[in-house]
Amino acid sequence: MPGSWRNVPAAVSVRRFARATLSRCTDLQVSVPRLLVAGLRGGGGKTLLSLGLAASFRSRGHGVAPFKKGPDYIDASWLSHAAGRPCRNLDLFLFSPPVAIRSFLDASKGANIAIIEGNRGLYDGMDAEGSFSSGELAKLLKAPVVLSVDVTKTTRTAAAQILGCQTLDPEVSLAGVVLSRVAGSRHESVLRESIEGICGIPVLGAIPKLPEDIFPERHLGLVPPQETELVEDPLSRVREVAEKYLDLDGILGVARAANTSSLNSELGLKDVGAGSTGQKGSAQAGGTVQAQTDPVKIGVFRDEAFQLNSLESRTVKIGGFRDEAFQLNSLESRTVKIGVFRDEAFQFYYPENLEGLQEAGGELVEIPPTEAEELPEVDALYLGGGFPETLAPRLSGNASFLESVRSAAGAGLPIYAECGGAVYLGKRLHYEGESYALAGVIPVEYGFQAKPRGHGYTVLETVAENPFFQVGETLRGHEFHYTYMVSKPPEGLEFAFKMHRGFGFDGTHDGLRIGNVLASYTHLHALGTPGWAPALVKAARRFKTR
């Protein structure tokens, strides 16, 4: 039923991925110093604090592993720049706790501090119980919380709010507070006395009201670093703020005091380790996962630090996807080229999605649609999200490239497009009083409105044949878009998905499909949908050998 996301079972592929990952572990021991930066609400200073910590600890010579709780591309991109290594998203709605833990452990390798930026308020989740909140993630990873508190025009009441956070869920380790927008030294003194006296936790920093925003902002929040000419300038400034106003040694002490015990008990695991070989297990109801001797080899992102620093850095070769859906005997001999739109207009790609394509046998070819004269020789296209509206004149003006995309789609090239990528494939975009011709692969026109048309998590049921997902398959993703379909699609154009949660194209459907093209407003994460990358590569192979 629409809206009944609780009753939608996790995809079989997610459970299979969890078994595969956990079967490789000797123990889910987490020892990296870590902390989660949370707030009382959105816009309370979490991002500035997280970036300041990442940049400062990096400048001190620490290896910083950055993470962002929830679906987010822009903050994660800034965190990647601040820390000097890829930021990973951790989301308990998009993928299961075992997968989240495995991702955290792998991405933390080689680091001596992990910084997780929360989202919204500490206990804000999908419902009244705070499901999938930052607090739930902190408990899962046994990460102490540093709370960023906007203290504009308040003193002792801030202590009451912090005390409420402490008592609402005692299992969340609230280890310290950083004050933001402090009016002056007297204001800070009263706040410190109130909070430390009433709550019994230290104030680890007091950031004053800053004269101007350090980071440029736009309708989706911060302007992405890809569109910022001098990326190092705001990062240098936020590092200076952190070094001047934060107790960095105290915060590092909080991270180092994090619980280092095994996380097996958190997941109800039974002896996941050397002693488990020879014992078969399976995913049980309620999310319990046991080890198995014959793991399914799918979607396990396993280079030495679970990270690829660039699309060109390496091609990961694995033995093959050996379940009934993916009978591939030799990935090495069947490499295909996957074109990825990548420039200021298209930036929204999870690292795991790109890595998943590489591991499935895809060679990634970056393509800048604002500059390329024609589509290079590729076997499939992946169009991520971004801000095509802000570069609409350049995109629309590149007529030869638009024509080459349109021609390739007509020839059967598999194309998977999300959000901004779906807009690019449309006929026209109406934006700020202008109308821009686009690729015309999907015969619909788009408009742009001041408020989000779709924003939040999505649950999709696959209801029509398409190149990438089986009918009946349930997917979890997210959407955030100001664009919308101006008119209904023409007769005969199918939607691949029925919306159980979210807006999509029309509040009921998502995923316009024509030929081998699927254009959706929903963003997917490869850790939550591990069958997606192999399916796209498989479609590319079919096209290559047609």
* Mean residue pLDDT across the chain: 83
Look at residues 535, 539, 479, 534 and name the one whose alpha carbon lies nearest to residue 515.
539
Q: In what order do the strands lie in the sheet with 113-117?
A: 88-90, 64-69, 113-117, 34-39, 145-150, 174-182, 203-208
pTM of the model: 0.81
- Residue type, position 201, single letter: I
| 525 pLDDT higher than 90 | yes
Domain locations in the chain as residue ranges? 29-256, 322-544
Q: What is the pLDDT of residue 43?
A: 83
Instruction: Kindly tell me if the per-residue pLDDT of 20 is higher than 80.
Output: no
Average pLDDT on 275-302 reads 31
Average pLDDT of the residues in 161-181: 97
Q: Tell me, what amino acid is at 530?
A: P
Q: In the predicted model, is pLDDT for residue 54 greater than 70?
A: yes
CA-to-CA distance for 40 and 179, rounded, in angstroms? 11
Q: How far does Cα 66 stand from its chain's mean position?
A: 12
Beta-strand (E) ranges in 349-453? 362-367, 380-383, 385-386, 415-418, 428-431, 434-437, 445-448
Contacts by 128-132, CB closer than 8 A, 24 or more apart: 131/93, 132/91, 132/92, 132/93
What phi, psi does 448 have (nearest 5°)? -140, 130
Mean pLDDT of 464-478: 97
> Does residue 239 register a pLDDT over 50?
yes
Bridge partners of 90? 69
Residue 296 has pLDDT above 90, yes or no: no
What is the spatial distance between Cα 425 and Cα 437, in angstroms, rounded to a whole number? 10
* CATH level 3 topology of 29-256: Rossmann fold (3.40.50)
Q: Which residues contact 175 (CB under 8 A, 6 or more apart)?
A: 35, 144, 145, 146, 201, 254, 257
Higher pLDDT, 307 or 405: 405
Query: How many Cα neighbours within 13 Å face the side chain of 360?
Result: 28
Which tokens hold the place of 44? Answer: 């309370």
Neighbours of 276 (CB within 10 A): 20
Asked whether 225 and 81 are in contact (CB, 8 A), the reply is: yes
Element housing 514 (H / E): strand 509-514
Tell me which of 40-54, 234-248, 294-308, 403-417 is least confident.
294-308
Please tell me what DSSP assigns to residue 225: G
Nearest 5°: the CA angle 191, 193, 195 is 65
Mean of pLDDT values over 53-57: 97
Q: What would the mean pLDDT of 47-60 be, rounded to a whole number?
A: 96
Q: How many CB atoms lie within 10 A of CB 308?
A: 21
Report pLDDT digits (tens) over 130-141.
999 999 999 999
Indicate the pLDDT class of residue 312, thresholds 50, 70 and 90.
very low
CA trace torsion 389, 409, 367, 230 (10° rounding): 10
pLDDT > 90: percent of the chain: 70
pLDDT, tens digit (0-9, with 9 covering 90-100), for 78-125: 999 999 999 999 999 999 999 999 999 999 999 999 999 999 999 999
45 contacts 39 by C-beta, under 8 angstroms:
yes
Cα 436 from chain centroid (whole Å)? 30
SS (H, E, C) 14-82: HHHHHHHHHCCCCCCECCCCEEEEEECCCCCCHHHHHHHHHHHHHHCCCCEEEEEECCCCHHHHHHHHH
- Highest mean pLDDT pick, 207-211, 296-300, 381-385: 381-385
Active centre residues (catalytic):
419
- Work out the average pLDDT over 273-286: 30
pLDDT higher than threshold 60 for residue 290: no
Q: Give residue 290's identity as a one-letter amino acid code.
A: Q
What pLDDT is stored for residue 313 in this prediction?
38
**In this structure, are residues 362 and 241 in contact, taking their beta carbons and an 8 Å threshold?**
no
**Plot region of 260 (φ>0 → left; ψ -120 to 50 → alpha; else → beta):** alpha
Distances (CA, A) of 54 to 177, 208, 333, 348, 514: 17, 19, 41, 21, 44
Are 364 and 338 contacting, i.e. CB atoms less than 8 angstroms apart? yes
In this predicted model, what pLDDT tens digit does every residue of 331-373 receive, in sequence order? 444 689 999 999 999 999 999 999 999 999 999 999 999 999 9
Q: Quick one: pLDDT at residue 231?
A: 53
pLDDT value, residue 491: 83
Average pLDDT value for residue range 374-403: 96
| Per-residue model confidence as pLDDT tens digits over 430-469 | 999 999 999 999 999 999 998 889 899 999 999 999 999 9
Is the pLDDT reported for residue 22 higher than 70? no
Mean pLDDT for the stretch of residues 35-48: 93
pLDDT bracket for residue 127 (50, 70, 90): very high
**What is the CATH code for 322-544?**
3.40.50.880
E-strand stretches of 286-426:
322-323, 326-327, 336-341, 346-348, 362-367, 380-383, 385-386, 415-418
Kindly report, residue by residue over 499-514, the tens digit of the pLDDT. 999 999 999 999 999 9
**Taking residues 211-224, what's their average pLDDT?**
59
